[in-house]
Amino acid sequence: MHYLSLLQDRALEKMHEKEVQLEAICKKNMELEQQIAQLVVESSAWQQHSRYHDNMISNLNYNLQKIHAVSRDSKEGCGDSEVDDTASCCHVLPTDQHLQHYGENGEKKEPMLCRFCSIRQACMLLLPCKHLCLCKECESKIAFCPLCRSIKSSGMEVFL
pLDDT digits (tens, 9 = 90+) for 106-160: 555 667 889 989 899 999 999 889 899 999 999 988 888 988 988 888 888 888 7
Backbone angles phi, psi at 141, to 5 degrees: -95, -25
Percent of the chain residues topping a pLDDT of 70: 76
The whole-number pLDDT of residue 4 equals 85
- Compute, in degrees rounded to 10, the torsion defined by CA atoms 131, 136, 138, 144: 30
Would you say residue 37 has pLDDT above 90?
yes
- The sign of the torsion formed by the CA atoms of 66, 139, 109, 81 equals positive
CA atoms of 112 and 103, how far apart (whole Å):
13
Q: Name the residue with higher pLDDT: 78 or 67.
A: 67
Backbone angles phi, psi at 77, to 5 degrees: -70, 165
Asked whether the whole model's pTM tops 0.95, one would answer: no
